[in-house]
Amino acid sequence: MAADRNGKSGARTDLAITGMSCASCAANLERALRELDGVSEASVNLATARATVLFDPRLVDPAGLAEAVRGAGYGVAASPEEQGAKAGRELASLRRSVAGGGALALLIFLGSMRHWFPWAPAFLQDHRVLWALATPVQFLLGRRFYRGAWSALRRRSADMNTLVAVGTSAAYLYSAAATVLPGFFRRAGVEPAVYFDTSAVIIVLILFGRMLEAGAKGRTSDAIRRLMGLRPRTARVVDGEVEREVPVEAVRAGDVLVVRPGETVPVDGLVLEGRSAVDESMITGESLPAEKGPGSAVTGATLNKWGSFRFRAVRVGEDTALAKIIRLVEEAQGSKAPIQRLADAIAARFVPAVIAIAVLTFAVWAAFGPEPRLVFALLNFVAVLIIACPCALGLATPTAIMVGTGRGAERGILIKSGESLETLHRVDTVVFDKTGTLTSGRPEATDVIPAPGVAAGRLLALAASVENGSEHPLGQAVVRRARADGVAVGAADGFRALEGMGVEATVGGERVLVGSARLLESAGVDVSPLRAAAEELTGAGRTTAFVAADGGLVGLLGLADTLKPGARAAVEKLRRAGLRVMMLTGDNARTARSVAAEAGIDEVVAEVLPGDKAEAVRRLQEEGRRVAVVGDGINDAPALARADVGVALGTGTDVAMASADITLISDDLGAFVSAVALSRRTIRTIRQNLFWAFVYNVVGIPVAAGVLYPFLGVLLNPMIASAAMAMSSVSVVANSLRLRRARI
């Protein structure tokens, strides 16, 4: 079961749609799906040609959804691959239509404009010849518009196909009547002129625009294709002493695989033997190869540089990091940003309004226009229908979202949705976790201070035995220090993490506590003998952990975590971008302030429990702040979920990443700075697209209707209207494509 952002639950499915050509197509299909019993939500993305449907499987199934799509006049592809193949065939068909139709339209144009081209062949002056040339353009090349218009009519709606079909048919039929019945027109006082060039050129130009648009939209999905291209095809599986090359789909979790120099790591796993350096730039964006040895994690699709190693497969198939990245990017590209709601609302009502304006235009010109009134009325009627394309409006947002999220994926920034991308640009406050986020997350146990009468070895042995069951970086630092000092790490039973205070377990029959002074004092342990030492360590920026066994104080550990390279630079860039930067941590105040000062952060909230972190975020939001929280651990999950935008480091826990809106695959905080810049550039691009799409229609429709004619004598030729309409969509997509080269 799945749930949308409004809390609606049910099964979720994605349908690959074919046959959509404009924003009103998407709006009509959404309406058709939502009318089905059992469908609680439906969202159709024109740019990706995908429909996301939330439904009750007890009332409707995917087959029923597909049937509704076909009933609305569109097709359903069985897979994205089939959809891509159909899109490729459609693009090839458009190219053939434009080539053939262009040749015919040129001949018709030469014949119709013979006063401009006196050298044109004489036979082109015959209206019957022009009629013969225009007919295949109108009904063969233009049949896609008639099919679309008929499908819309059956649903009692209208779309862009309706506008083109009605407009070109009006020009064609008027010209055919003037060719067959010239005497009728002359008796009515009207010279029997023909406008076959208008209908033919309009059809060819619109097809040309769709061809350019299809090619450009294809390029918006380049990021997905590049990610898919990283997928290795084969793997070397070790079976005893024998190596077998098998398809990567045949690899199972637990298999032992070997990777040689220059080969691609086939799946995710852990190195068993051998050492190498692996280029992970295609996943993390990090340019320097990562050193790998026994125990190191390796990621599928990364490139082994020089050494050979064996590793055990841990995640295969759709569970690999690359597969998850592809899935996240696809979901993000198929999502809608809130800014698109306005465009969708307008597109849904746009075509009927345009038809009404066109009819009114015809009526006014037929009644009050200059002679020949019918001709003027017809031409302006056609111009209004043709120029009023809602395609640019429908493409303005999704194309920018597609390119923006794809660009982010290439830089190791995984954005879950268009909403997350849009919200990030409005953020004015950034709250960082400390350990593992601002700091390297790999602290060292720098100080071992036993209580009076206690051996240092006993202190380390007890603390390390308890912390061996913890995944927390501080706990692992204690374990590493014990092993480095040659202290045996024993087994612990009943391990339990105590929120914001520490951990406890039983070691050799003793109940051992490791954590804050508050934890030990709550258990009745006197920490006063080492309190001064703890304060001294804290003043030096150390994290302290008291250790007690069976109610008695055992000692004190001092741990230091170093600031990540680039953390201070990232904070400075965020400040220059106008953002307020804070640190929120469960660590003690003195340590927190020391790290914050090193990072260039002035505002610190320390010694907070995980639930209190979320409460701190809520208080900021009540002040009117839009908050982004950057964290990596389980304890950050409530704050990430509470924030306007939650940002998790890919090196952190799965819980944190599941709670976040954005995941940074690497632990480089510079990627977050890039995410903010990308969000701002994307939203700026969307606003540019929407501005020009609105301006185009707000200015174009009145001009096409002839409002300037009484003042300036200006009329818009329908052929020019069709060219402008075609280029409006292409310009919007081209503007979105600029994001691929944006510096972030």
* Model-wide pTM > 0.85: no
Average pLDDT over residues 505-510: 92
pLDDT value of residue 144? 86
User: Which positions ≥6 away from 256 have C-beta within 8 Å?
Assistant: 237, 238, 272, 310, 311, 312, 313
pLDDT score of 547: 96
Q: Average of pLDDT values for 451-467?
A: 94
The mean-pLDDT minimum among 295-299, 322-326, 544-548 falls in 322-326
Instruction: Answer whether 362's CB lies under 8 Å from 439's CB.
Output: no
Whole-number Å distance between alpha carbons of 552 and 558: 19
Name the pLDDT band for 219 (thresholds 50, 70, 90): low
Task: Please tell me the least confidently modeled range out of 131-135, 189-193, 261-265, 350-354.
Answer: 189-193
pLDDT at 530 over 80: yes
Tokens read off for 144: 């896609």
Helix (H) or strand (E) holding 649: strand 645-649
Q: In sequence order, which residues have a C-beta less than 8 Å from that of residue 311 and are 6 or more positions away?
A: 256, 257, 259, 265, 269, 270, 271, 272, 298
- In this predicted model, which residue has the larger pLDDT, 557 or 728? 557
Per-residue pLDDT, averaged over 321-342, amounts to 67
Say if CB 402 and CB 334 are below 8 A apart: no
Q: Which of 277, 256, 276 is nearest to 266 (CA)?
A: 256
Instruction: Output the CA–CA distances (angstroms, integers) from residue 467 to 456, 503, 624, 652, 685, in the order listed.
Output: 16, 8, 41, 18, 50
User: Per residue in 641-657, pLDDT tens?
Assistant: 788 998 988 764 454 45
- Of 2-11, 262-271, 593-602, the poorest mean pLDDT is in 2-11
Comparing 411 with 546, the larger pLDDT belongs to 546
pLDDT digits (tens, 9 = 90+) for 405-430: 888 888 888 888 778 888 899 999 99
Residues 551-571 have a mean pLDDT of 90
What would the mean pLDDT of 104-130 be, rounded to a whole number?
83
Flag whether pLDDT at 222 surpasses 70: no
Is the pLDDT at 340 greater than 70, yes or no? no
- pLDDT for 101: 92
Q: Looking at residue 221, what is its pLDDT?
A: 58
**Structure-model confidence comparison of residues 168 and 21, the more confident one:** 168
657 in Cβ contact with 681 (< 8 Å): no
Give the residue-averaged pLDDT of 325-354: 67
587 — pLDDT class (breaks 50, 70, 90): confident
What number is the average pLDDT over the span 316-343? 70
With bands split at pLDDT 50, 70 and 90, how would you rate the model's confidence at 6? very low
pLDDT at 217: 60
Measured CA distances, 124 to 141, 318, 679 (Å): 21, 62, 56
pLDDT in tens, 657-684: 556 788 888 778 999 999 999 999 999 9
What's the average model confidence in pLDDT over 431-449? 85
Tens of pLDDT, residue by residue over 50-65, are: 888 999 988 999 899 9
Q: Which two tokens stand for residue 740?
A: 């691929």
Looking at residue 428, its pLDDT comes to 95
Mean pLDDT for 677-701 is 87
Task: Catalytic residue, from 433, 561, 587, 644: name it.
Answer: 433
What is the pLDDT, as a whole number, of residue 559?
A: 87
Q: What is the pLDDT of residue 577?
A: 93
DSSP string, 92-139: HHHHHHHHHHHHHHHHHHHHHTTTT-TTS-GGGG-HHHHHHHHHHIII
Angle at 418 between CA 415 and CA 419, to 5 degrees: 100
Full 3-state SS string of 337-349: CCCHHHHHHHHHH
Token pair listed for 433: 């976790």
Report the C-alpha gap between 313 and 268 in whole angstroms.
6
pLDDT averaged over every residue in the chain: 83
Higher pLDDT, 716 or 242: 242
pLDDT at 521 over 80: yes
More confident residue, 131 or 115: 131
- Determine what percent of the chain is predicted with pLDDT higher than 90: 29
Tokens, residue 590: 């003195």
Higher model confidence: residue 237 or residue 631?
237
pLDDT band at 132 (very low <50, low <70, confident <90, very high): very high
pLDDT, mean of residues 26-51: 84
pLDDT digits (tens, 9 = 90+) for 357-394: 989 999 999 898 888 788 888 888 888 877 776 666 66
Q: Given pLDDT bands bounded at 50, 70 and 90, which one contains residue 594?
A: confident
| Confidence category of residue 288, pLDDT binned at 50, 70, 90 | low
Compute CA 551 distance to the chain's CA centroid, rounded to the nearest angstrom. Answer: 53
pLDDT at 7: 46
| Residue 660, pLDDT score | 74
Beta strand ranges found along 492-644 (DSSP E): 493-498, 502-507, 510-515, 543-549, 552-560, 580-584, 603-605, 627-631
pLDDT, residue 653, reads 45
- How far from 577 is each of 5, 354, 434, CA to CA, in Å? 30, 43, 21
Asked if 433 is an active-site residue, the reply is yes
Instruction: Indicate whether 252 pLDDT > 90.
Output: yes
Single-letter residue type at 738 = R
pLDDT of the residue at 623: 93
